[in-house]
Structure 1
């Protein structure tokens, strides 16, 4: 099997991640739920994981990191907790449904307004329109760091500076970049960075979270058990407990910390991952771009590029191409809408979808070459009417 669906989830986890989860399963008690050694071991592991995330992403410190089940939950917490009824928000057409749907829910239920900055057909952001929409004075700007469809990486530091100048809080969806692309929250200036553990951070599914800048107060989305202040009627408002109701997935978080350690200790950090996986994506894109019938999307010169390549072959439905890749070549990719409806509209692919090849640290040049060969053969067969 050649696994090129890493933008959905990385399948080939380092052995240290597997071992960390297995060890935690047989030794952890509840985090903050006791003074015995099993509970203390879980609490210390979670603290080390917070510190590892903060160091990797440039967050203020361990207490600024709250863990959730995934980036979707983190984005819901951030958006719901920062956007008050009747306020205005701004996003872009590159956003994932994990940004769009919480905003549209608040539009429909809380009288919030949602503006959307367009994406050009080459995948780039129109900064002039973005600047014009900021004149509407949104309270919140929530954008993606990199498109999960095309891999185009946006100049979020510039977007953040413009948002702050307009008086808006800035929430960054880093689901596609945390661990695989250089990202420093302090340098960007973001108020919140949301991440997931099961993609480029090499952690288990069911892990993720948000990093919150000093002075940014997010209203809790969930309330319940916290392990402290049990006689208070409402949930504690200090970080990170204010955003973590209920028992944490300490077993998964231990695996997440191991994944981060592997990235930094073995892979050369996010820069090293980006250099390797980005080069594979470029190698693959170069190999298929000239093939008759193949159209590659995004990868604009106006954007930096991640490790994703999206394409179509003639007018063949993307799901059919993905099925051929899986059944005839044992190559795993993703087809369809990728939870990015506005991006597909921008690219003109809302009916056909697109076939997404996404590379990671575990992939090789041989993987990229095999995928390119398969695309060429399928395109040739399509051209022959097969």
Structure 2
């Protein structure tokens, strides 16, 4: 019999939980009523399935300031979307600029393109708090530079990048801007036109409150990418080549219609609550957590200082306690879910000075309660006290 306490979930930066009730209902309803292939038939169920996808695109377009919903290609996750953007745009001889805060979902495709096609890459360093100097990014632009890739918010530090400034620089210099919105979609305001974003990769399962296996890539109307996958689309089936019409060009194979139905409902929830309200609540919880942890001897919080703007990510280390041990004790003894390790961003840990140790990451979400934050602070305090006693 499991007599553990109810879980306190502080791992929303990986996947948000719980989901709004409507998300689960939308997935179930789709499986029960619209379980047919979208775009692959003219019968009623297929038409309804197609409508699910288009409604989701319309809601996403509204959220991100996108003029044409068909400029959104659905993907399995942010990683899939980023690979489509990076591999679909860059060609041999091109140069790409990224930052020292990037997730492996940006770094590894770039490194693969370097090995396979000889592209060149420059990773511009942010400071220890995650602040990026746009002038240093501009200084790295060469005649071969085709793309600037930047995380909107670091998944380790919570630092928020100056995307609008990067967008202005990119447009002025004739370079494309790819934004990794894994930690910002649904939490921070995003307007692709106003911010100069050419490519926006986003997950469905984090701030948009949808299920795993969903996400997408916005591709500017004037930008053409080489498809990452080729195959059936339900359109131009007589042609041997992938069709050029959007979004079919980038969506080979049957889409995750039940998942996208859930994503659509998650986006509807975000639109109703507004990103401003969501960010304000998450910021309040984040600052309370930071304040409580900083009062504990030996705790160091990574990223922007207390009170500075950030997303709901609080990564920290505790002197004398391994991050993995801290996360294990929080889970097993207190029922608190956090994540420890390198968070798929060794570049970020090099920037923060924690490459040798990793860190513990706690990430509140919109449904986190203030009592959960208090419990987290008390638990860390108790573990630190126990650790001192054992060392004494």
Q: Same fold (TM over 0.5)?
A: yes
Q: Distance in 2 between matches of 1:352 and 1:192?
A: 34
Query: How far is the alpha carbon of 1:183 from its aligned partner?
Result: 1.4
Residue deviations 1:191-219 (CA, integer Å, cap 9, x gap): 01010001111101000001122211111
Q: CA deviation at 1:300?
A: 4.6
Match of 2:57 in 1: 50
Q: Which moved more, 1:373-382 or 1:147-156?
A: 373-382
Q: Do the aligned residues in 2 keep the contact of 1:58 with 1:183 (CA within 8 Å)?
A: yes
1:142 corresponds to: 149
Match of 1:273 among 275, 278, 281: 278
State whether structure 2 residue 230 is matched by structure 1 residue 217. Answer: no
2:161 equivalent to 1:154: yes
Match for 1:13 among 5, 9, 19?
19
Q: Does residue 1:110 correspond to 2:117, yes or no? A: yes
Q: Distance in 1 between matches of 2:307 and 2:240?
A: 51
1:243-279 CA deviation, whole Å, 9 max, x = no partner?
10001111100000011111222xx211111011111
Residue of structure 2 equivalent to 1:365: 370
Residues 1:64 and 2:65 aligned together: no
Work out whether residues 94 and 144 of structure 2, in 8 Å CA contact, stay in contact via their aligned partners in 1: no
How far is the alpha carbon of 1:61 from its aligned partner?
2.1
Q: What whole-Å deviation, never above 9, does each CA across 1:17-49 have from its counterpart, x for those lacking one? A: 101000111222100011111000000111000
- Output one character per residue of 1:263-300: Cα deviation in whole Å (capped at 9) or x when no partner: 222xx211111011111011110111132100000025
| C-alpha distance in structure 2 between counterparts of 1:69 and 1:12, whole Å | 20
Aligned match of 2:239 = 232
Range that drifts further, 128-137 or 189-198: 128-137
Residues 141 and 171 of structure 1 are in contact (CA less than 8 Å); yes or no, is this contact kept in structure 2? Answer: yes
Shift of 1:185: 1.2
2: CA distance between counterparts of 1:158 and 1:317? 38
- Give the one of 18, 28, 36 matched to 1:22: 28
The Cα offsets for residues 117-140 of structure 1, whole Å up to 9 and x where unpaired, read as 002122212334223212465111
- Choose from 345, 354, 360 the match for 1:349: 354
Displacement of 1:100 after TM fit? 0.5
Give the match for residue 330 of structure 2: 325
2:340 aligned partner: 335
The answer to whether residue 130 in structure 2 is matched with residue 123 in structure 1 is: yes
Partners of 2:195 and 2:147 in 1: CA distance: 16
**SS in structure 1 of the partner of residue 74 of structure 2:** strand
1:350 offset after TM fit, Å? 1.2
After the TM superposition, which residues 32-47 of structure 1 pair with which residues of structure 2 at under 5 Å, given as runs? 32-47=39-54
RMSD of Structure 2 on Structure 1 (CA): 1.4
Separation in 1 of the partners of 2:386 and 2:172? 54
Q: Check if 1:248 corresponds to 2:280.
A: no
CA distance in 2, matches of 1:212, 1:59: 10
Structure 2 CA distance, aligned partners of 1:178 and 1:101?
Answer: 22
User: Please, which runs of 5 or more residues in structure 2 have no aligned partner?
Assistant: 1-6
Number of corresponding residues: 384
CA distance 1:172–1:302, change in 2 (3 Å): farther
Q: Structure 2-normalised TM-score?
A: 0.95
Relative distance call for 1:319 and 1:301 in structure 2 (3 A) is closer
Q: What TM-score does the superposition give when structure 1 sets the normalisation length?
A: 0.97
Partner of 1:73: 80
Residue 237 (structure 1) shift: 1.2
Q: Is the 8 A contact 1:307 1:358 kept in 2?
A: yes
